[in-house]
Structure 1
Amino acid sequence: MNKVLFFVLFAFQLQAQDTIVFSKIDAFKRNILEVSYGKPLGNLANKYESSITTAFYMRTKIAKRQFVDFGVELSGIVKGNSINYNAGNENIRLDGSKSALFLGFRYTRFLFQSKNENFHIESNSGIGWKYLHYSKPEDEIYDDLDLKPTLNTIGISQGIKFMFYGFGLHCNYQYAPYDLFNKKVEKNFGGSLINFGLSGSWNF
Protein backbone atom coordinates (compact mmCIF):
# COMPACT_ATOMS: atom_id res chain seq x y z
CA MET A 1 0.00 0.00 0.00
CA ASN A 2 2.80 2.37 0.87
CA LYS A 3 4.54 1.57 -2.44
CA VAL A 4 1.36 2.31 -4.43
CA LEU A 5 0.89 5.61 -2.61
CA PHE A 6 4.52 6.48 -3.28
CA PHE A 7 4.20 5.91 -7.05
CA VAL A 8 0.95 7.91 -7.19
CA LEU A 9 2.55 10.87 -5.46
CA PHE A 10 5.60 10.57 -7.73
CA ALA A 11 3.37 10.63 -10.85
CA PHE A 12 1.53 13.74 -9.63
CA GLN A 13 4.85 15.45 -9.01
CA LEU A 14 6.06 14.77 -12.58
CA GLN A 15 2.77 16.04 -14.01
CA ALA A 16 3.02 19.22 -11.94
CA GLN A 17 6.55 19.83 -13.21
CA ASP A 18 5.39 19.41 -16.82
CA THR A 19 2.71 22.07 -16.39
CA ILE A 20 5.04 24.78 -15.03
CA VAL A 21 5.05 27.80 -17.38
CA PHE A 22 8.22 29.82 -17.55
CA SER A 23 7.96 33.51 -18.46
CA LYS A 24 9.30 34.38 -21.90
CA ILE A 25 12.61 36.24 -21.99
CA ASP A 26 12.15 39.76 -23.40
CA ALA A 27 15.11 39.85 -25.80
CA PHE A 28 14.50 43.11 -27.66
CA LYS A 29 17.44 44.60 -29.56
CA ARG A 30 19.21 47.11 -27.33
CA ASN A 31 21.77 48.61 -29.72
CA ILE A 32 20.80 50.46 -32.89
CA LEU A 33 22.97 51.67 -35.76
CA GLU A 34 21.56 53.82 -38.56
CA VAL A 35 23.13 55.17 -41.75
CA SER A 36 21.14 57.70 -43.73
CA TYR A 37 21.15 60.27 -46.51
CA GLY A 38 19.74 63.67 -45.56
CA LYS A 39 18.20 66.31 -47.80
CA PRO A 40 17.68 69.86 -46.41
CA LEU A 41 14.34 71.50 -47.13
CA GLY A 42 13.17 75.10 -47.40
CA ASN A 43 15.70 77.79 -46.50
CA LEU A 44 18.13 75.20 -45.17
CA ALA A 45 18.51 73.89 -48.73
CA ASN A 46 20.47 77.10 -49.47
CA LYS A 47 23.04 76.23 -46.77
CA TYR A 48 24.22 72.86 -48.04
CA GLU A 49 23.38 70.24 -50.63
CA SER A 50 22.98 67.08 -48.54
CA SER A 51 24.37 65.12 -45.60
CA ILE A 52 25.51 61.60 -44.75
CA THR A 53 24.61 60.63 -41.18
CA THR A 54 25.72 57.80 -38.90
CA ALA A 55 23.65 57.35 -35.73
CA PHE A 56 24.02 55.10 -32.70
CA TYR A 57 21.25 54.62 -30.11
CA MET A 58 20.88 52.49 -26.98
CA ARG A 59 17.34 51.29 -26.26
CA THR A 60 15.60 50.94 -22.88
CA LYS A 61 12.17 49.39 -22.48
CA ILE A 62 9.61 51.42 -20.50
CA ALA A 63 6.37 49.54 -21.25
CA LYS A 64 4.95 46.89 -23.53
CA ARG A 65 6.18 47.73 -27.05
CA GLN A 66 7.36 51.15 -25.83
CA PHE A 67 10.98 52.26 -25.51
CA VAL A 68 13.29 55.22 -24.98
CA ASP A 69 16.36 55.44 -27.22
CA PHE A 70 19.37 57.52 -26.12
CA GLY A 71 22.00 58.33 -28.72
CA VAL A 72 24.01 60.53 -31.02
CA GLU A 73 23.93 61.33 -34.73
CA LEU A 74 27.03 62.59 -36.56
CA SER A 75 26.60 64.08 -40.03
CA GLY A 76 29.08 64.93 -42.76
CA ILE A 77 27.90 67.92 -44.81
CA VAL A 78 28.13 67.66 -48.60
CA LYS A 79 28.86 70.92 -50.47
CA GLY A 80 28.23 73.45 -47.72
CA ASN A 81 27.59 77.00 -48.90
CA SER A 82 29.00 80.21 -47.42
CA ILE A 83 26.75 82.22 -45.09
CA ASN A 84 26.67 85.76 -43.71
CA TYR A 85 27.50 86.14 -40.02
CA ASN A 86 27.44 89.24 -37.80
CA ALA A 87 30.60 89.53 -35.69
CA GLY A 88 30.19 92.66 -33.58
CA ASN A 89 29.87 95.58 -35.97
CA GLU A 90 31.29 93.57 -38.85
CA ASN A 91 29.50 91.28 -41.27
CA ILE A 92 31.74 88.44 -42.43
CA ARG A 93 31.34 85.54 -44.80
CA LEU A 94 31.80 82.09 -43.27
CA ASP A 95 32.87 79.09 -45.29
CA GLY A 96 30.29 76.35 -45.73
CA SER A 97 29.61 73.95 -42.88
CA LYS A 98 31.27 70.53 -42.98
CA SER A 99 29.65 68.70 -40.06
CA ALA A 100 26.60 68.54 -37.82
CA LEU A 101 25.70 66.73 -34.59
CA PHE A 102 22.48 65.68 -32.87
CA LEU A 103 22.53 64.46 -29.26
CA GLY A 104 19.32 63.43 -27.56
CA PHE A 105 16.66 60.78 -27.07
CA ARG A 106 13.51 59.57 -28.75
CA TYR A 107 10.34 57.82 -27.69
CA THR A 108 9.77 54.65 -29.72
CA ARG A 109 6.52 52.76 -30.02
CA PHE A 110 5.85 49.56 -31.97
CA LEU A 111 2.85 50.24 -34.19
CA PHE A 112 2.76 46.63 -35.36
CA GLN A 113 4.64 43.46 -34.46
CA SER A 114 4.28 40.01 -36.01
CA LYS A 115 3.45 37.04 -33.77
CA ASN A 116 6.94 35.59 -34.15
CA GLU A 117 8.38 39.09 -33.41
CA ASN A 118 10.65 38.94 -36.45
CA PHE A 119 8.97 41.90 -38.16
CA HIS A 120 7.75 45.17 -36.72
CA ILE A 121 6.88 48.75 -37.64
CA GLU A 122 7.88 51.45 -35.17
CA SER A 123 7.49 55.20 -34.80
CA ASN A 124 10.27 57.40 -33.38
CA SER A 125 9.63 60.82 -31.79
CA GLY A 126 12.84 62.59 -30.79
CA ILE A 127 14.14 65.73 -29.11
CA GLY A 128 17.68 66.88 -28.41
CA TRP A 129 20.52 69.30 -29.02
CA LYS A 130 21.40 70.11 -32.64
CA TYR A 131 24.80 71.51 -33.61
CA LEU A 132 25.83 72.87 -37.02
CA HIS A 133 29.55 73.57 -37.17
CA TYR A 134 31.10 76.60 -38.86
CA SER A 135 34.70 77.80 -38.68
CA LYS A 136 36.24 81.25 -38.49
CA PRO A 137 37.61 82.39 -41.88
CA GLU A 138 41.31 81.62 -42.35
CA ASP A 139 42.08 85.12 -43.60
CA GLU A 140 44.78 86.84 -41.49
CA ILE A 141 42.56 89.84 -40.82
CA TYR A 142 40.39 87.62 -38.61
CA ASP A 143 43.25 86.15 -36.52
CA ASP A 144 42.62 88.48 -33.58
CA LEU A 145 38.85 88.17 -33.80
CA ASP A 146 37.30 86.20 -30.92
CA LEU A 147 34.74 84.32 -32.97
CA LYS A 148 33.03 80.97 -32.46
CA PRO A 149 30.34 80.84 -35.16
CA THR A 150 28.95 77.37 -34.41
CA LEU A 151 25.12 77.25 -34.38
CA ASN A 152 23.30 75.41 -31.56
CA THR A 153 19.60 74.84 -31.11
CA ILE A 154 16.90 72.42 -29.99
CA GLY A 155 15.94 69.84 -32.59
CA ILE A 156 12.87 67.64 -32.84
CA SER A 157 12.23 64.67 -35.10
CA GLN A 158 9.51 62.28 -36.17
CA GLY A 159 10.18 59.07 -38.05
CA ILE A 160 9.01 55.62 -39.00
CA LYS A 161 10.96 52.40 -39.34
CA PHE A 162 10.31 48.98 -40.87
CA MET A 163 12.40 46.18 -39.31
CA PHE A 164 12.82 42.52 -40.30
CA TYR A 165 15.13 40.21 -38.33
CA GLY A 166 16.98 43.23 -36.89
CA PHE A 167 17.51 45.03 -40.21
CA GLY A 168 15.35 47.51 -42.06
CA LEU A 169 14.58 50.89 -43.56
CA HIS A 170 13.84 54.16 -41.83
CA CYS A 171 12.70 57.67 -42.73
CA ASN A 172 12.47 60.69 -40.43
CA TYR A 173 11.88 64.42 -40.53
CA GLN A 174 13.96 66.78 -38.37
CA TYR A 175 13.34 70.40 -37.51
CA ALA A 176 16.02 72.54 -35.85
CA PRO A 177 15.50 76.34 -35.93
CA TYR A 178 19.15 77.48 -35.95
CA ASP A 179 18.24 81.16 -35.64
CA LEU A 180 16.21 80.56 -32.46
CA PHE A 181 19.17 81.11 -30.09
CA ASN A 182 21.54 82.88 -32.49
CA LYS A 183 20.62 86.28 -33.92
CA LYS A 184 23.95 86.65 -35.74
CA VAL A 185 22.74 84.69 -38.73
CA GLU A 186 20.01 85.62 -41.15
CA LYS A 187 16.42 85.45 -39.99
CA ASN A 188 14.60 82.29 -41.12
CA PHE A 189 17.93 80.50 -41.53
CA GLY A 190 16.08 77.23 -42.03
CA GLY A 191 16.01 73.98 -40.12
CA SER A 192 13.99 71.35 -41.98
CA LEU A 193 15.64 68.11 -43.02
CA ILE A 194 14.47 64.71 -44.17
CA ASN A 195 16.58 61.55 -43.68
CA PHE A 196 16.13 58.08 -45.13
CA GLY A 197 18.40 55.07 -44.93
CA LEU A 198 19.24 51.70 -43.36
CA SER A 199 18.99 50.52 -39.77
CA GLY A 200 20.41 47.55 -37.89
CA SER A 201 19.93 46.40 -34.30
CA TRP A 202 21.59 43.78 -32.11
CA ASN A 203 22.50 42.78 -28.56
CA PHE A 204 26.04 42.47 -27.24
Structure 2
Amino acid sequence: MLRVALTGPESTGKTTLSQKLAEHYHTAWVPEYAREYLETRQLGLGYTLTDLEEIARGQLAAEDAAVAAAERCRRPVVFCDTELLVIKVWAEHAFGHCPDWILEEIEHRSYDLILLLGIDLPWEPDPLREHPHLRQYFYDLYRSELTERLSNFAEIGGTFERRVDQSCFLIDELLRSHGYVPAAQAPTDDL
Protein backbone atom coordinates (compact mmCIF):
# COMPACT_ATOMS: atom_id res chain seq x y z
CA MET A 1 0.00 0.00 0.00
CA LEU A 2 1.46 3.32 -1.06
CA ARG A 3 0.83 6.25 1.26
CA VAL A 4 0.79 9.83 0.05
CA ALA A 5 0.59 12.58 2.68
CA LEU A 6 -0.06 16.26 2.21
CA THR A 7 1.57 18.71 4.54
CA GLY A 8 2.29 22.39 4.87
CA PRO A 9 1.07 25.54 6.57
CA GLU A 10 -2.54 26.46 7.20
CA SER A 11 -4.78 27.48 4.30
CA THR A 12 -2.72 25.89 1.54
CA GLY A 13 -5.46 23.59 0.22
CA LYS A 14 -4.43 20.28 1.83
CA THR A 15 -7.97 19.10 2.51
CA THR A 16 -9.38 20.06 -0.88
CA LEU A 17 -6.43 18.58 -2.77
CA SER A 18 -6.30 15.33 -0.78
CA GLN A 19 -10.04 14.80 -1.33
CA LYS A 20 -9.67 15.50 -5.05
CA LEU A 21 -6.75 13.07 -5.35
CA ALA A 22 -8.63 10.30 -3.52
CA GLU A 23 -11.57 10.86 -5.85
CA HIS A 24 -9.33 10.84 -8.92
CA TYR A 25 -7.59 7.61 -7.86
CA HIS A 26 -10.82 5.98 -6.57
CA THR A 27 -9.34 5.28 -3.17
CA ALA A 28 -9.55 6.08 0.52
CA TRP A 29 -8.83 9.47 1.99
CA VAL A 30 -7.78 10.30 5.55
CA PRO A 31 -9.24 13.61 6.70
CA GLU A 32 -7.44 15.81 9.20
CA TYR A 33 -8.58 14.47 12.56
CA ALA A 34 -7.66 17.72 14.36
CA ARG A 35 -10.59 19.58 12.82
CA GLU A 36 -13.12 16.93 13.91
CA TYR A 37 -11.58 16.75 17.38
CA LEU A 38 -11.55 20.51 17.97
CA GLU A 39 -15.03 21.08 16.54
CA THR A 40 -16.63 18.17 18.43
CA ARG A 41 -15.20 19.36 21.74
CA GLN A 42 -15.83 23.02 20.90
CA LEU A 43 -12.25 23.86 21.86
CA GLY A 44 -11.57 26.31 19.08
CA LEU A 45 -7.95 27.33 19.48
CA GLY A 46 -7.92 26.55 23.22
CA TYR A 47 -6.20 23.19 22.83
CA THR A 48 -3.55 21.74 25.15
CA LEU A 49 -0.59 19.45 24.58
CA THR A 50 -2.78 16.59 25.83
CA ASP A 51 -5.28 17.49 23.11
CA LEU A 52 -2.52 17.36 20.49
CA GLU A 53 -1.61 13.87 21.71
CA GLU A 54 -5.24 12.76 21.35
CA ILE A 55 -5.34 14.30 17.89
CA ALA A 56 -2.18 12.38 16.96
CA ARG A 57 -3.74 9.11 18.15
CA GLY A 58 -6.93 9.85 16.23
CA GLN A 59 -4.99 10.70 13.07
CA LEU A 60 -3.07 7.44 13.25
CA ALA A 61 -6.25 5.41 13.82
CA ALA A 62 -7.98 7.14 10.90
CA GLU A 63 -4.99 6.47 8.66
CA ASP A 64 -4.91 2.79 9.62
CA ALA A 65 -8.66 2.49 8.93
CA ALA A 66 -8.29 4.14 5.51
CA VAL A 67 -5.40 1.84 4.60
CA ALA A 68 -7.50 -1.19 5.57
CA ALA A 69 -10.43 0.07 3.45
CA ALA A 70 -8.16 0.66 0.45
CA GLU A 71 -6.60 -2.79 0.84
CA ARG A 72 -10.03 -4.46 0.98
CA CYS A 73 -10.87 -2.81 -2.36
CA ARG A 74 -7.43 -3.57 -3.77
CA ARG A 75 -6.43 0.04 -4.20
CA PRO A 76 -2.68 0.68 -4.37
CA VAL A 77 -2.63 4.12 -2.74
CA VAL A 78 -4.22 6.06 0.11
CA PHE A 79 -4.13 9.84 0.67
CA CYS A 80 -3.60 11.51 4.05
CA ASP A 81 -4.77 15.09 4.50
CA THR A 82 -2.01 15.53 7.06
CA GLU A 83 0.53 13.53 9.05
CA LEU A 84 2.28 13.63 12.44
CA LEU A 85 4.94 16.10 11.33
CA VAL A 86 2.20 18.73 11.58
CA ILE A 87 1.56 17.73 15.21
CA LYS A 88 5.30 17.93 15.94
CA VAL A 89 5.63 21.40 14.44
CA TRP A 90 2.52 22.69 16.25
CA ALA A 91 3.51 21.13 19.58
CA GLU A 92 6.97 22.67 19.42
CA HIS A 93 5.60 26.04 18.35
CA ALA A 94 2.78 26.21 20.91
CA PHE A 95 4.28 24.29 23.86
CA GLY A 96 8.05 24.27 23.30
CA HIS A 97 8.35 20.50 22.81
CA CYS A 98 6.76 17.44 21.27
CA PRO A 99 6.03 14.23 23.22
CA ASP A 100 8.62 11.51 22.63
CA TRP A 101 6.10 8.90 21.48
CA ILE A 102 5.01 11.18 18.62
CA LEU A 103 8.64 11.69 17.58
CA GLU A 104 9.15 7.91 17.65
CA GLU A 105 6.00 7.33 15.60
CA ILE A 106 7.18 9.86 13.00
CA GLU A 107 10.40 7.85 12.66
CA HIS A 108 8.54 4.54 12.19
CA ARG A 109 5.65 5.64 9.97
CA SER A 110 6.76 6.30 6.45
CA TYR A 111 5.13 7.79 3.38
CA ASP A 112 6.04 6.98 -0.18
CA LEU A 113 5.49 10.58 -1.17
CA ILE A 114 4.82 13.77 0.76
CA LEU A 115 3.37 16.77 -1.03
CA LEU A 116 4.46 20.03 0.61
CA LEU A 117 1.90 22.63 -0.36
CA GLY A 118 3.09 26.17 -0.98
CA ILE A 119 1.65 29.37 0.44
CA ASP A 120 0.89 30.95 -2.92
CA LEU A 121 -2.87 30.54 -2.44
CA PRO A 122 -4.74 33.34 -0.64
CA TRP A 123 -5.34 32.96 3.09
CA GLU A 124 -8.89 31.83 3.84
CA PRO A 125 -10.03 32.78 7.36
CA ASP A 126 -11.35 29.93 9.48
CA PRO A 127 -12.04 29.77 13.25
CA LEU A 128 -9.47 26.95 13.58
CA ARG A 129 -6.64 28.74 11.75
CA GLU A 130 -4.17 30.70 13.82
CA HIS A 131 -1.26 32.30 12.00
CA PRO A 132 -1.92 34.02 8.66
CA HIS A 133 1.27 36.06 9.07
CA LEU A 134 3.50 33.00 9.77
CA ARG A 135 2.82 30.88 6.71
CA GLN A 136 6.30 31.36 5.22
CA TYR A 137 7.87 30.60 8.61
CA PHE A 138 5.92 27.34 8.89
CA TYR A 139 6.55 26.43 5.24
CA ASP A 140 10.28 26.78 5.82
CA LEU A 141 9.99 24.63 8.98
CA TYR A 142 8.18 21.84 7.14
CA ARG A 143 10.65 21.97 4.27
CA SER A 144 13.60 21.81 6.65
CA GLU A 145 12.09 18.89 8.59
CA LEU A 146 11.37 16.93 5.41
CA THR A 147 14.85 17.60 4.05
CA GLU A 148 16.55 16.56 7.30
CA ARG A 149 14.52 13.34 7.42
CA LEU A 150 15.46 12.55 3.79
CA SER A 151 11.76 12.27 3.00
CA ASN A 152 10.60 11.71 -0.54
CA PHE A 153 8.77 15.01 -0.94
CA ALA A 154 7.82 17.45 -3.63
CA GLU A 155 6.89 21.10 -3.37
CA ILE A 156 3.51 21.80 -4.94
CA GLY A 157 2.30 25.29 -5.83
CA GLY A 158 0.28 27.46 -8.15
CA THR A 159 -3.43 27.46 -8.78
CA PHE A 160 -5.56 24.60 -7.53
CA GLU A 161 -5.69 23.14 -11.04
CA ARG A 162 -1.91 23.31 -11.31
CA ARG A 163 -1.57 21.62 -7.90
CA VAL A 164 -3.83 18.80 -9.07
CA ASP A 165 -1.82 18.39 -12.28
CA GLN A 166 1.55 18.42 -10.47
CA SER A 167 0.31 15.95 -7.87
CA CYS A 168 -1.22 13.54 -10.40
CA PHE A 169 1.97 13.53 -12.46
CA LEU A 170 4.05 12.61 -9.40
CA ILE A 171 1.55 10.03 -8.14
CA ASP A 172 1.26 8.38 -11.57
CA GLU A 173 5.06 8.09 -11.64
CA LEU A 174 5.04 6.65 -8.11
CA LEU A 175 2.39 4.09 -9.09
CA ARG A 176 4.27 3.09 -12.24
CA SER A 177 7.55 2.74 -10.32
CA HIS A 178 5.82 0.23 -8.02
CA GLY A 179 4.19 -1.71 -10.85
CA TYR A 180 0.68 -0.26 -10.45
CA VAL A 181 -1.68 1.07 -13.09
CA PRO A 182 -2.27 4.87 -13.05
CA ALA A 183 -5.74 6.21 -12.21
CA ALA A 184 -7.07 6.51 -15.76
CA GLN A 185 -6.83 2.72 -16.12
CA ALA A 186 -7.73 1.73 -12.54
CA PRO A 187 -10.99 0.02 -11.54
CA THR A 188 -13.73 2.36 -10.32
CA ASP A 189 -15.86 0.30 -7.92
CA ASP A 190 -16.62 2.08 -4.63
CA LEU A 191 -14.72 1.68 -1.40
TM-score normalised to structure 2 length: 0.24
TM-score with structure 1 setting the length: 0.23
Higher helix share: 2
Q: Flag the structure with larger Rg.
A: 1
More strand by share: 1
